[in-house]
Structure 1
Amino acid sequence: MDGHHGTGPDRSGTGPRAAADGDPQPDLPRWLDRTRWLWPALLTLAIVLVQIDRAPLWRDELATWSAASRPTGDLLRLAANIDGVAVAYYLLIHGWIELFGDSVPSLRLPAALSLAGAAALVAVLGGRLFGGRVGLVAGLLFAVLPSTSRYGQEARPYALATLFAVLATLLLFRALDRPGWWRWAGYAAALVGLGLSHLLATSLVLGHAVAVGLAWHRQTDRRYARWPLALVPAILVLAPLAWLGRDQQARQLAWVRPPTLTDLPDLPGDLLQSGAVGGLLVGLAAVGLLTRGRRGVALGACVLLPAALLYVGGLLTPLWVPRYLLFTVPFGCLLAAGTLAPLRLRRALPIVALAGLLGAPAQASLRRTHETPRSAPIDYPAATRIIGAGQRPGDGIVYSPRDMPGFLDVAVAYYLPDRRPRDVLLVEGPVATATLEATECPLPAQCLAGVDRVWLLTRGVHPTDPLTGVTRPKATALRDNFRVERTWTVPGLTIALLTR
């Protein structure tokens, strides 16, 4: 980005161009420099794959399974009503399920692979900007973060967006170093992938604008004017999704509250899944922002400007969800590694290890549950095991609540795919409604007629009266016609067997 000063292009990341911002950059051994992308990728996989199937699918992942397991036509009908901005990701997982099945590890593996790829690209990008050693440290730092494990073990598109964010930034700097139509075309394609994986991640373009502006200021080159043209394909492809998402936003994000000033200091910890790790990374990255020259400023813009946009946008409309900023974390790692540039590798690696040690409690807890807060897990598998073991032919089941945040019916469908009680109040399922929700019988007493045993699954723990959390008229129909024979509680859920 800073242009050339009498030197030829240096692709190793350890020569004169990589050291343009001033600090001495001791070379890595040649074999390590050439493979610096491999070790962060392997470390990421080694950490993320540990107990990848231990935490139960949580509601967002159940939504992914519900959408992606539908026939393609039904999936497209769903996108017209809800989650339209995620339709490309759902189609990807739909194809993945066709090939590899829908077990918990299978559903989560694309995210794990995406973040392993992102870690590799962080090492490549860091080497291009600051030297191979900085790139290696940045990639390893990214690998040990709790947020990498958290979203590498989640069947949602945030990991894929992070991969495309690093790829697009790498291709941008390649195009700025040697502007050419094919390089700009690759950058444009990466932006399209970024927006299709997560529309809000395209706010990264704000940071890219700063990088282009600094490069143009450093070395006037008319070919830099091609950057706005590279945005055109993304605009054309993503504009319809943005319009669709605008119409669906009120329904999908009604639960999101506006941010307050107190949310800003909590953001690093919320995003990285650990306050201690967040504090360490922010401190190191802040020094890197101030000391790494124009490239440090550009990377800082890739972190700060998307966060500022999400905050301001969240004041106007429901948007403030910290995990939406996961794609900015790699750039914070690059800045932090840049701060460690004066240290030799053997002295920088203990700081990476420190970040891993500080994040160890979060690493353990996120493998127990993906719910927030982690002190309130919801154990769908345990509940379905109870129902599966105790059910008899002719049994019915009733859910409360039956809305999207609950996804109780989807959880039972996932964990009891072949044999489960009849959904006695069901009128139309999610596929028929082309949404993520079902519609229920308006007259529960009539629909319960002819059923002698009913399983009741409710959110929350109600050991003394399982009907406490059931709304009318459903609760009235159950109380008038059934008695509670037995009640079980598991984390976050109550299961009851009612007999007529």
Structure 2
Amino acid sequence: LPSALLGAATAPLAGAWAGRRFGRRSGWLCGLLLAIAPVQVYYGQELNQYAAIPLLTLALLIAWEAVLARGSRRDWRRFGLISVLALVCHYGMAFPIAATVLHLAWRAWRAPGSVDRRRLLGQLATLAATLLGLLALGLAERAATPHLDARLFGTGLVKELDYLADTGWRELLVFLTLPFSGGPALWSAGALAILAGYGALTLALPSIETGPSGRNGPGRRLLGVGLMAPLALVYPADILGLYPLGYRWALFAVPLGALCLALALDRLWRADAVAGLGATLLTTLNLLLFLPQQDAWNPWMALPREAMRPLVEALAEGIRPGDVVYVGDGGWPAFTVYRARLGLSALPALRGQPPEAFVPEVELRRILDLRAAEAAVWLVDVRDPTGTLPGLESALRAAGFTIDRVAEFPGAGLRVARRAPARLHGAGASSPVYSRSGDSTVRASSTSPVLRVPAGSKSSTRHSASATGQCSTPRGTIRNSPAPSSRSPVRRRMRSRPSMTKKSSSASAC
């Protein structure tokens, strides 16, 4: 609920602010684009802080403009409070905060008296105290975990420019600022990019309607400090492997991206009705192309950095009554979200203890107490860096279980532990499995440990088998062999993949 409310609040706030700054029509369009933007809709459904980032960025920019315009004590207090809330919300908000504070410091140096230096120092002291408190609460440990590999002195100029072009287009412009440019609508993203660029020109250059007049556009400072400067600050962190440039880590760019597109539509309508109608139809076309895939839309990253949805679907297809599902503590929030969203609330599961309270022997006893006689134990592995799941696997093996890695997805894996496979399933026998609510009961063959591919997706996919007994799908790898095999490191950014359909046959399909 908080994510939904925060995401929904961004639209009216942006509409009111843009309408006051750039005209009523621009405000209505900006609010509408944010209200129906897939990024906003998606993160408004997740149990995390990402829906608050666009809202807090917008509030931060409004408070920063008020400090520049009036600079009253109330304006400074509001700016300080929003800065603290933004920094506590997500450490990525440090970049827009740094951009606004550095701009105020530059103004105080270039034009003495334009900015109250004493209050600026108070703002810096408040942010420093907040940062120290966050470090004491564990931010240092979180920041020490790199999001990606450092590229310092590791790439050539041409390769780095190619990376910047790809990141700027696919991970910033398409992903964040163009609301309907996902999946099948991607082909028209280029036209929307041109529209957004035209809107940015209305901010950065003198008024296009009146021609060059030697003065700045109405939002040149806003575009530079609110969008370009934070991205420029992120780039060195990206090179050092500390913070990625793009995707959800740059959600602070969403409000100004929607504003640029709204300004383009408004200015084109004012300049020429035909051009305005064409731009509106193009934006509407993107919306229509997006609608069929809205249910399965996943912006390359799922909560919390695992492809948990297909894992839960695969688990529901393979589990049998009496089995126990053990989910690591780190993956439990995402597991419960998708279990409920997919209508699988009846799916039994046991939450693992956090790392500081994890004892393999105790966890094994909890599992055995819930496990029916000779039933299987399913382990949901979310690549926990603390290593709690490997400790549990060792305890299971010591208790006589054999563990097979039966399915892999980006950032998550599914394993099954059985003590006596021969006694669990008779030849040719089949038993009921849990199915999505509202669907007909799905039955799976019990003669093979292979997981069935999730049912209910919208696009069909061809499955291919390899000589090693491995079935590759666009969303993961399903293995037939009980022997675990090495897995290549997961890329830090995953492209969107189409959903999988249920296989028409059992293990022979792979």
Name the TM-score, length of structure 2 as normaliser. Answer: 0.58
Give the one of 365, 369, 392 matched to 2:293: 365
**Equivalent residues in 2 for 1:113-152, closer than 5 Å:** 113-152=5-44
Instruction: State the Cα distance separating 1:250 from its structure 2 match.
Output: 4.1
Q: Distance in 2 between matches of 1:111 and 1:155?
A: 7
After superposition, the Cα gap between the structure-2 partners of 1:193 and 1:353, relative to the gap in structure 1 and judged at 3 Å, is: farther
Q: Distance in 1 between matches of 2:420 and 2:233?
A: 49
After superposition, the Cα gap between the structure-2 partners of 1:177 and 1:215, relative to the gap in structure 1 and judged at 3 Å, is: farther
SS of 2:447's partner is: strand
Q: Distance in 2 between matches of 1:366 and 1:257?
A: 35
Q: Distance in 1 between matches of 2:325 and 2:257?
A: 48
**Equivalent residues in 2 for 1:225-374, closer than 5 Å:** 226-242=119-135, 244-251=138-145, 253-254=147-148, 260-262=163-165, 263-266=167-170, 267-272=172-177, 274=181, 276=189, 277-291=192-206, 293=216, 295-301=218-224, 302-322=226-246, 323-339=248-264, 340-341=266-267, 343-344=269-270, 351=279, 354-370=282-298, 372=300
Cα distance per residue 1:227-276 (max 9 Å; x no partner)? 44334323311333257333323436257988733323333113347251
Instruction: State the Cα distance separating 1:368 from its structure 2 match.
Output: 0.6
**Equivalent residues in 2 for 1:377-416, closer than 5 Å:** 378-387=309-318, 390-392=320-322, 395-396=323-324, 407=331, 411=335, 415=339
After superposition, the Cα gap between the structure-2 partners of 1:349 and 1:384, relative to the gap in structure 1 and judged at 3 Å, is: farther
After superposition, the Cα gap between the structure-2 partners of 1:377 and 1:479, relative to the gap in structure 1 and judged at 3 Å, is: same
On the 8 A contact 2:311/2:409 being kept in 1, the answer is no
Letter in 2 for 1:485: T
Letter in 2 for 1:140: L
**Equivalent residues in 2 for 1:212-231, closer than 5 Å:** 212=104, 220-223=113-116, 226-231=119-124
Q: Distance in 2 between matches of 1:336 and 1:413?
A: 33
Aligned to 1:14: none
SS of 1:458's partner is: strand
Aligned to 2:457: none
After superposition, the Cα gap between the structure-2 partners of 1:215 and 1:354, relative to the gap in structure 1 and judged at 3 Å, is: farther
Q: Distance in 1 between matches of 2:29 and 2:349?
A: 53
CA RMSD of superposed structures (Å): 4.6
Aligned to 2:397: 445
Cα distance per residue 1:178-226 (max 9 Å; x no partner)? 2211121011111111111111112113442476479777895354763
On the 8 A contact 2:53/2:90 being kept in 1, the answer is yes
Report the number of matched residues: 367
After superposition, the Cα gap between the structure-2 partners of 1:397 and 1:409, relative to the gap in structure 1 and judged at 3 Å, is: farther
After superposition, the Cα gap between the structure-2 partners of 1:280 and 1:254, relative to the gap in structure 1 and judged at 3 Å, is: same
On the 8 A contact 1:176/1:224 being kept in 2, the answer is no
Letter in 2 for 1:367: D
On the 8 A contact 1:133/1:345 being kept in 2, the answer is no
Name the TM-score, length of structure 1 as normaliser. Answer: 0.59
SS of 2:197's partner is: helix
The unaligned stretches of length 5 or more in structure 1 are: 1-108, 462-468
Letter in 2 for 1:270: F
Q: Identity of aligned pairs, percent?
A: 20
In proportion to residue count, which structure has more helix?
A: 1
